[in-house]
Amino acid sequence: MALSKLLGALAAATVLSSAAFAAGYPERQITMVVPFSAGGPTDTVARLVAEKMSADLGQQVIIENVGGAGGTLGAGRVAKAEPDGYTVLLHHIGMATSATLYRKLAYDTLNAFEYVGLVTEVPMVMVAKKDFPAADFKAFAEYVKANPDKVTMANAGIGAASHLCGMLFQSAIQTQFVTVPYKGTGPAMTDLLGGQVDFMCDQTTNTTSQIKGGTIKAYASTTPERLAIFPDLPTATESGVPALNVSIWHGIYAPKGTPAEATERLSKALQVALADPGIAKAMGDLGTAPSAAADATPAALKAKLESEVAKWKPVIEAAGVYAD
Ligand code: ASP
């Protein structure tokens, strides 16, 4: 009897504290960790969304860039953060690929996080420095295959989207070229513009203005259909490399143990942000679109991460690419 009374009191206290939490949350600013450098494509998406989420939450969502090790340093930081609803992670497909690419990760991908929702899916484009000696994607692929020890490909480290695209490209044309890792493709773009690296595969959220400005060359998109913003740019598939078909989905996570009241509140703010016409316009100009409200939910992101870990595992194992 005494025990059941105690359990009842404990249950009531839990309900009370989570209700009190829900009513007051958020009471201060929220940190959104971006696991890549400032100025790159993941950062661009995060800043767009954070600004609109801040308005709905009534508290600032500030960005903290924790680049390095293909996004796994930033993800690790959030996995170990206090699960209080005040630290979240905006990461992309690399959350799924790094689960297999890394023999040792500081966190257990499928068990270290709570989910907020999907944000957007961003196409990629294979781009090269302005004077790269190839007129189209076919000639580009042939040149890379013929000169693997001469050309260099920038990426954001093992586990990055740019790494995944490069890995698929290497497998498709059966060669191994030199890759140059950065903490994000923002700084990699600076070096591409300066000609210090030769080519890169990156999200349209980072490549669009440079392609439009003619400061880099675009060879192909990684999408099944041509991009509306670049109708003259062929897809890799129509250029004879169907394996280069990848779209970079982004999601928001919280450390395991974050109260559901917080992740649900954040998910609602995400849905409000993604429904904002300003976001649709800004994303549209960068070749992407906000996720639908039904996908900006914890359940949709959980399902996506689980299916993507399973999808990429055999591809990575077949390519035999690993990091320690
Ligand atoms: N685009 C990068 C990647 O390859 C990340 C970034 O800098 O946002 O994953």
- The pLDDT tens digits of the residues spanning 96-136 come to 999 999 999 999 999 999 999 999 999 999 999 999 999 99
pLDDT confidence of 209, banded at 50, 70, 90? very high
- The confidence score (pLDDT) of residue 222 equals 96
User: Are 206 and 185 contacting, i.e. CB atoms less than 8 angstroms apart?
Assistant: yes
Q: What is the mean pLDDT of residues 290-309?
A: 98
Ligand 1 contact via 186 beta carbon (within 6 Å) = yes
User: pTM of this prediction?
Assistant: 0.93
Is the predicted pLDDT of residue 167 greater than 70, yes or no?
A: yes
Residue 6, CA distances (Å) to 10, 11, 39, 201, 222 in order: 6, 9, 54, 59, 59
- In this predicted structure, which of 55-64, 204-213, 289-298, 315-324 has the lowest mean pLDDT? 315-324
**Which ligand 1 atom sits nearest the alpha carbon of residue 185?**
7
Look at residue 95 and give its three-state secondary structure.
helix
Position 61 scores a pLDDT of 98
| 72 Cβ inside 6 Å of ligand 1 | no
Q: How far is CA 136 from CA 147, 219, 232, 238, in A?
A: 16, 6, 12, 12
Question: Tell me, what's the pLDDT at 12?
Answer: 45
Q: What local confidence, expressed as pLDDT, does residue 322 receive?
A: 85
pLDDT at 35: 98
Tens-place pLDDT, residues 138-166: 999 999 999 999 999 999 999 999 999 99
Give the dihedral sign, CA 35/59/114/276: negative
DSSP bridge pairs for 179: 153
Q: Which ligand 1 atom sits nearest the alpha carbon of residue 206? A: 1
Residue 14 pLDDT more than 60? no
Mean pLDDT, to the nearest integer, of 235-253? 95
Domains of the chain, first to last: 26-121+248-319 (3.40.190.150), 124-221 (3.40.190.10)
For residue 322, what are the CA distances in angstroms to 105, 164, 265? 12, 12, 37
Residue 116, H or E segment:
strand 113-129
Judge if the beta carbon of residue 94 lies within 6 A of ligand 1: yes
Report yes or no: 105 and 99 within 8 Å, Cβ to Cβ: yes
Regarding the beta carbon of 93 and ligand 1, being less than 6 Å apart is answered no
Reply yes or no on whether the pLDDT at 210 is more than 90.
yes
Is 276's C-beta closer than 6 angstroms to any atom of ligand 1? no
Residue 194, CA atoms < 13 Å, CB-side half-sphere: 8
Sequence-ordered alpha helix ranges (H) in the chain: 2-24, 41-57, 72-79, 94-101, 137-146, 161-173, 185-194, 204-213, 260-274, 277-285, 298-319
Rounded to the nearest whole angstrom, what is the distance from the C-alpha of residue 162 to the centroid of ligand 1?
6
Ligand 1 pocket mutation pick from 34, 37, 42, 126 by most atoms within 8 angstroms of CB = 42
4-18, 56-70, 126-140, 227-241: segment of lowest average pLDDT? 4-18
pLDDT band at 190 (very low <50, low <70, confident <90, very high): very high
pLDDT at 9 over 70: no
Closest CA to 71 of 190, 155, 194: 155
The token pair that represents 188 in the structure block: 């990699």
User: Of ligand 1's atoms, which has the minimum distance to the CA of residue 201?
Assistant: 4
Percent of the chain with pLDDT over 70: 94
In ligand 1, the atom with minimum distance to the C-alpha of 186 is: 7
Chain centre to alpha carbon of residue 224: 19
What gap in Å lies between CA 101 and CA 84, rounded to an integer? Answer: 30
Phi, psi of 268 (to 5 degrees): -65, -45
The response to whether residue 161 sits with its C-beta less than 6 Å from ligand 1 reads yes
What does the alpha-carbon distance between residue 106 and residue 236 come to, in Å, rounded to a whole number?
35
Radius of gyration of the chain, Cα coordinates, nearest whole angstrom: 21
Pocket test for ligand 1, best of 63, 91, 203 (most atoms within 8 A of CB): 203
Q: Which pLDDT belongs to residue 323?
A: 86
Place of tokens 């070749």: 287
The whole-number pLDDT of residue 18 equals: 65
Distances, alpha carbon 87 to alpha carbons 114, 125, 273, in Å: 11, 31, 18
Mean per-residue pLDDT of the chain: 94
Question: Which comes out higher in pLDDT, residue 96 or 15?
Answer: 96
**Pocket of ligand 1 contains residue 37 by CB under 6 Å:** yes
Mean pLDDT, residues 236-245: 93
**Quick one: pLDDT band at residue 5, thresholds 50, 70, 90?**
low
Residue 70 near ligand 1, beta carbon < 6 Å: no
35 touches ligand 1 (CB under 6 Å): no
Which stretch of DSSP H or E encloses residue 155?
A: strand 152-155
* CA 60 / ligand 1 centre spacing (Å): 24
According to the model, what pLDDT value does residue 242 have?
Answer: 93
Q: What's the average model confidence in pLDDT over 74-90?
A: 98
Q: What is the per-residue pLDDT across 260-280, written as a single tens digit (0 to 9) for each?
A: 999 999 999 999 999 999 999
Q: Are 159 and 69 contacting, i.e. CB atoms less than 8 angstroms apart?
A: yes
Instruction: Determine the residue of 92, 121, 127, 207 to mutate for testing ligand 1's pocket, defined as the one with the most ligand atoms within 8 A of the Cβ atom.
Output: 92
Quick one: pLDDT at residue 20?
A: 61
Backbone angles phi, psi at 126, to 5 degrees: -80, 120
Q: How far is the CA of 49 from the centre of ligand 1 (A)?
A: 17
At 324, the pLDDT band (50, 70, 90 cuts) reads confident
CB of 44 shorter than 6 A to ligand 1: no
